[in-house]
Structure formats: structure tokens, C-alpha cells
């Protein structure tokens, strides 16, 4: 499969978030290393994988609030605790 790799600045242009917001708020909370981004050759440079980010953005935008853990529910985390 072909992936589109983006720098933080390129990603910010696509999703309309400030690069600083991506680095400080989204990275490692919403955008996860190994899924949404990688560090080629173990270096400092971060490359975001556009197709995976776009897929997850649409998935979360189209899912009901209760599945995302919104204010009306305890969210999926509480369901896992009940079944454990």
C-alpha cells in the first residue's frame, strides 16, 4: 500500500490545526506513534501517515457520541471495566 507522509507543517495545512497544537496536544494523545506517525530510522524527524489520520478522523466524526465516550455516557472505557 502507498502511504502519504507529511511533516507537521504539511499536516497542519490539511487538518487546519496549528503545528504547535499538533505537536503539543494531538501527538501521543490522539495521534499515536506506530499508527499515525513514525520516526524514520529512529531519528527525531516525525512523519505523519495521512491515510491513517484521515481514516480515524472520519471514523470518529461518524461514530455516535456514546461510542466516543462523550458527556452522555461513561464511554467504552467503562464498558471494558464491567466485562473484566
Q: Which domain holds residue 38?
A: 5-83
- Give the pTM: 0.72
pLDDT (0 to 100) of residue 69: 57
Beta-carbon-side half-sphere exposure of residue 80 (alpha carbons within 13 Å): 5
Query: What's the CATH number where 32 sits?
Result: 1.10.1660
If one counts the domains in the chain, the total is 1
pLDDT lower than 70: segments of the chain: 65-84
pLDDT (0 to 100) of residue 16: 97
Continuous segment of H or E residues that includes residue 47: strand 47-49
pLDDT (0 to 100) of residue 64: 76
pLDDT (0 to 100) of residue 73: 44
Find, among 44, 27, 45, 25, the residue nearest to 36 by Cα: 27
β-sheet bridge partners, residue 49: 5
Helix axis angle, 50-62 to 8-15, nearest 10°: 30
Residue matched to cell numbers 472505557: 77
Amino acid at each position: 500500500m502507498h502511504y502519504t507522509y507529511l511533516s507537521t507543517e504539511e499536516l497542519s495545512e490539511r487538518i487546519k490545526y496549528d503545528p504547535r497544537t499538533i505537536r503539543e496536544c494531538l501527538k501521543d494523545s490522539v495521534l499515536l506513534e506506530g499508527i499515525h506517525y513514525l520516526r524514520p530510522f529512529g531519528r527525531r524527524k516525525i512523519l505523519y501517515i495521512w491515510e491513517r489520520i484521515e481514516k480515524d478522523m472520519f471514523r470518529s466524526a461518524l461514530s455516535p457520541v456514546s461510542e466516543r465516550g462523550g458527556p452522555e455516557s461513561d464511554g467504552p472505557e467503562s464498558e471494558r471495566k464491567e466485562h473484566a
